[in-house]
């Protein structure tokens, strides 16, 4: 009977299992993605791994591979259960932004206004469609991870090399790797020849990792498992033979895919506040309607039918039908502005959430740093030279403590010449930009040689390359043999300091070769490493009459020339942005896969304040300890995907709004879990982009800070829009309540209410959405997520202006009816009064606290002026055009009426300004 298995099921062999010593509820080192205990393959020798897997260096036989494929399933990631398109669409109708509209459409249908109900429902459906499309894009994240698996693999089967589909690989297969290959499964390397693998997508390590067959510590972090290669990573140099140890969901990339599928996307603070506001508003409207109904029936003697119709009209008036559209437009304008500042928003509510961010968890490579290696230090026997400049441009100053020029130090020139000749890279000038072809370390050393005044073509013409020993991780150095046409050959060597120094017998000093002082040079290496610099040593050896070179020729007798110290330098704008974050009350935390020493040096360079802690230390902490560590430390090194999620959760439990940056597959679960996930657009994987809320087009930390500023502006404008729109809706409701209680004819009809709510209010409020950032916006502390959307002060302002609008409109209506004017004319006066009140109040709202008698407030936003002009034109059509008169029951009014209404609007504007002045000494930031 055929067994149904999940792709990538771990190898079910008793000889392969081990007892976990991990505490309950934790995953022991070496457990696979499915959570089943398996050997820590990286800690076993190659021979042990082959034996435990019941395989051989020649691979599996065809029948055995087929049997294992039947047992384990194909080497592909299991897709999650798909949510049907219909279900995703229906789910959008629970969105708080549109929930307010549904009762409005229902009451309109109840009173027979089917056309109006259809218009409101159309708004609801459009909002739902937008959410439906956005959610569909988010579900592509897992698909992007699956696409990272190699489509084909070179494998040994029946002692022959074969090319098979990657999904046919099974545990025990022996895979052959070469430069340019994508690793098709998790491998224990059993033979290596100069193998380097780019693992940034999994670990965040910016440089390729040199691999070997030597086992490493059982609890080694993912980035330190040099005896393993992981599915989805890229071979950049060399060749290898690897034993398949995990496939499909059991691989490291499969484990991340499982994390992503289980990670729930959190509700944004705006959505939570809008939901709370919607529930509060619905309860208030229902309460007001019920109270009006009861008073009318019990105290005023109206029939139940009459009062029911009045209550429905009250609901239509009180519900701000245009509010969701206003919020959506405000967010959309924020999206457009951010796109102009290199921040691409994928989920619209994230625009506002950025404004509440209190912690930014950022990657190091390419975000805080340039993702370009640069030689910062060159050390010879007599001097320590510091290099200016960034990137691969051979431009910048070289300085030492004595203020000499580079050409005055022969030892420096010898060191730079060695780095130039023992080099396989090229730096080329294209369109005024220097670009690298080759290894980043080689490119950085070439740039230093250019700064020292050496020209690559000239040096190579004087000493052409005769032979070379390529870099291999087992040797940890490369060497070239160079010889002038009529002279003796010289071997130039550069590589890891421990490998090169061990082969040196002398060091070059000002008076020639001197016996090497190993303690002194070891101290120099340690000093550079503490500064976060990657150290490369350079040496030479005279080889008279040689025309070829072998590694054994370099086992001793080398002459040390000096050391190069390389860094991935911080972006200048990152330094400025970290300082700006501190002023804005935003903590910046760096979470990286790099070693703690490197991470600490970069953290200090960019100005991060706090301690440094590494991933293995986090593993030993309980939840309380993790919460303290998350708050107290600013740099987290050797971090895994689980660490990132745990840190995000710890910070969010403490009430922080967290933005998380990332570019690799390993970052996708944390990006999805954070309040705002920020992916890198240039070097980010598709999986990271699809899991994010925002993509940085320029991979620049400064862009995040600019986006936070824009998010704060959007939030300010949303609050302005709220306190602008609500007095109009509440004012109309107040007019109806007072008219009912006083036994008056309704001054405004439900259809006229819709005109005001959906046409004029929305049009005018668009101007607010274009308001620029207020002065000092990035000197505020982040607002806590518990702060309500409408503070006590803003509620007072809404109530105060509502009262003014109700009083003004009732005065206009009573005055008109007292003069014996027709009802249609009186209602027209009331609607126009409301709209002019809105226009005047719009300028009050452009500055919530400061007075509006400023040029920038009255005339600084051209969109406000345009929308006021547009609304006045609409009102002329509403008042005088025959078709609109027939639809809305309006009538023409005289020029004197317009002057009187404009005067009342000016009075309202002045009263609100006086209220600002009176309350100014007592107000607090709301």
Name the residues annotated as catalytic: 363
Torsion of CA 527, 532, 533, 534, to 10 degrees: 110
* Residues in a beta bridge with 428: 435
d(CA 150, CA 812): 75
Please provide residue 503's backbone torsions phi and psi, each rounded to the nearest 5 degrees. Answer: -100, 0
| 677 neighbors 687 (Cβ within 8 angstroms) | no
Which pair of tokens denotes residue 543?
A: 């080889």
d(CA 312, CA 323): 19
Q: Which residues, other chains included, contact 817 with Cβ-Cβ below 8 Å and sequence gap of 6+?
A: 745, 823, 826
Burial of residue 614 (number of CB atoms within 10 Å: 0-12, 13-18, 19+)? middle
- Nearest Cα residue to 701 out of 369, 289, 434: 369
d(CA 189, CA 183): 12
| 656 neighbors 359 (Cβ within 8 angstroms) | yes
d(CA 657, CA 771): 25
Which pair of tokens denotes residue 49?
A: 């791994």
d(CA 752, CA 756): 6
* 100 to 104, 120, 329, 910: CA distances (angstroms): 7, 11, 16, 32
d(CA 667, CA 191): 31
Which pair of tokens denotes residue 322?
A: 């245009």
- Nearest Cα residue to 657 out of 677, 637, 629: 677
- Nearest Cα residue to 228 out of 487, 29, 464, 19: 29
d(CA 143, CA 163): 25
| 543 neighbors 488 (Cβ within 8 angstroms) | yes
d(CA 289, CA 298): 14
d(CA 317, CA 749): 9
């Amino acid at each position: 009977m055929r067994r149904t298995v999940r792709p990538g099921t771990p190898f079910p062999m008793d000889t392969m299992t081990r007892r976990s010593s991990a505490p309950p509820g934790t995953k022991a080192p070496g457990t696979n993605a499915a959570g089943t205990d398996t050997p820590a393959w990286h800690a076993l020798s190659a021979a042990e791994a082959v034996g435990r897997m019941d395989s051989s260096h020649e691979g599996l036989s065809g029948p055995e591979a087929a049997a294992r494929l039947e047992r384990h399933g194909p080497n592909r990631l299991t897709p999650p259960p798909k949510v049907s398109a219909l279900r995703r669409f229906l789910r959008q109708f629970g969105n708080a932004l549109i929930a307010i509209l549904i009762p409005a459409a229902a009451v309109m249908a109840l009173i027979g206004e089917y056309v109006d109900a259809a218009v409101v429902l159309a708004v609801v459906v459009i909002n739902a469609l937008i959410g439906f499309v956005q959610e569909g894009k988010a579900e592509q994240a897992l698909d992007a991870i699956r696409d990272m698996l190699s489509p084909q693999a070179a494998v040994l089967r029946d002692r022959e090399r074969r090319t098979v589909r990657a999904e046919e690989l099974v545990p025990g297969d022996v895979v052959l790797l070469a430069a340019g290959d994508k690793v098709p499964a998790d491998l224990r390397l059993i033979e290596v020849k100069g193998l380097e693998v780019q693992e940034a997508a999994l670990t965040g390590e910016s440089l390729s990792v040199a691999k070997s067959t030597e086992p490493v510590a059982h609890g080694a972090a993912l980035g330190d498992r040099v005896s393993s290669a992981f599915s989805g990573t890229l071979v950049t140099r060399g060749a290898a033979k690897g034993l398949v140890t995990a496939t499909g969901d059991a691989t490291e990339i499969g484990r991340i895919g499982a994390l992503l599928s289980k990670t729930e996307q959190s509700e944004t603070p705006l959505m939570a506040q809008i939901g709370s506001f919607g529930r509060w508003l619905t309860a208030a409207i229902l309460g007001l309607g019920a109270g009006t109904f009861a008073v009318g029936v019990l105290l005023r003697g109206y029939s139940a039918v009459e009062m029911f119709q009045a209550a429905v009209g009250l609901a239509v008036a009180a519900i701000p039908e245009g509010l969701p559209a206003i919020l959506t437009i405000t967010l959309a304008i924020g999206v457009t502005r951010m796109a102009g500042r290199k921040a691409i928003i994928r989920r619209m509510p994230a625009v506002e959430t950025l404004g509440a961010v209190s912690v930014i968890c950022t990657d190091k490579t390419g975000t805080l740093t340039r993702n370009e290696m640069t030689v910062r230090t060159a050390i010879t026997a007599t001097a320590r030279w510091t290099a200016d400049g960034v990137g691969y441009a051979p431009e910048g100053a070289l300085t030492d403590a004595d203020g000499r020029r580079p050409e005055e130090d022969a030892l420096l020139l010898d060191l730079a010449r060695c780095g130039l000749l023992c080099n396989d890279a090229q730096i080329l000038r294209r369109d005024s930009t220097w670009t690298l072809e080759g290894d980043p370390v080689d490119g950085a050393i070439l740039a230093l040689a250019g700064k020292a005044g050496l020209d690559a073509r000239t040096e190579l013409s004087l000493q052409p390359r005769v032979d070379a020993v390529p870099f291999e991780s087992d040797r940890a150095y490369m060497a070239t043999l160079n010889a002038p046409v009529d002279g003796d050959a010289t071997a130039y060597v550069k590589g890891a300091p421990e490998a090169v120094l061990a082969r040196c017998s002398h060091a070059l000093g000002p008076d020639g070769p001197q016996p090497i002082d190993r303690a002194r040079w070891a101290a120099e290496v340690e000093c550079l490493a503490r500064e976060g610099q990657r150290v490369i040593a350079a040496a030479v050896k005279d080889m008279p009459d040689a025309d070829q070179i072998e590694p054994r020729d370099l086992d001793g007798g080398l002459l040390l020339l000096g050391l190069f110290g390389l860094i991935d330098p911080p972006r200048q704008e990152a330094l400025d942005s970290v300082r700006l974050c501190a002023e804005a009350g935003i903590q910046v935390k760096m979470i990286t896969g790099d070693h703690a020493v490197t991470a600490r040096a970069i953290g200090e360079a960019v100005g991060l304040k706090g301690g440094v802690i590494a991933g293995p230390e986090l593993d030993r902490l309980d939840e309380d300890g993790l919460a303290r560590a998350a708050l107290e430390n600013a740099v987290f090194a050797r971090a895994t995907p689980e660490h990132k999620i745990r840190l995000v959760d710890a910070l969010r439990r403490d009430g922080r709004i967290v933005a998380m940056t990332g570019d690799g597959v390993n970052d996708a679960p944390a990006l999805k879990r954070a309040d705002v996930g920020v992916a890198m657009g240039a070097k980010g994987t598709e999986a990271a982009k699809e899991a994010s809320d925002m993509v940085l087009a320029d991979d620049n930390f400064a862009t995040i800070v600019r986006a936070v500023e824009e998010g704060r502006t959007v939030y300010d404008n949303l609050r302005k829009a709220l306190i602008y729109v609500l007095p109009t809706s509440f004012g109309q409701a107040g007019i109806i309540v007072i008219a009912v209680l006083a036994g008056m004819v309704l001054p405004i009809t439900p259809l006229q209410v819709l005109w005001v709510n959906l046409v004029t209010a929305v049009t005018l409020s668009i101007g607010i959405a274009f308001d620029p950032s207020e002065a000092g916006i990035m000197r505020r502390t982040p607002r806590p997520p518990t702060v309500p959307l409408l503070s006590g002060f803003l509620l007072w302002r809404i109530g105060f202006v509502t009262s003014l609008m109700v009083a003004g409109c009732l005065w206009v209506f009573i005055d008109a009816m007292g003069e014996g004017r027709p009802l249609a004319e009186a209602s027209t006066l009331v609607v126009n009064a409301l709209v002019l009140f809105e226009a005047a109040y719009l300028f009050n709202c452009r500055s919530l606290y400061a007075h509006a008698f400023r040029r920038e407030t009255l005339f600084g936003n051209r969109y406000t002026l345009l929308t006021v002009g547009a609304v006045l034109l609409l009102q002329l059509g509403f008042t005088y055009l025959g078709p609109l008169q027939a639809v809305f029951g309006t009538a023409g009014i005289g020029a004197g009426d317009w002057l009187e209404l404009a005067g009342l609007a000016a009075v309202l504007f002045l009263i609100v300004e006086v209220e600002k002045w009176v309350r100014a000494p007592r107000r607090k930031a709301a």
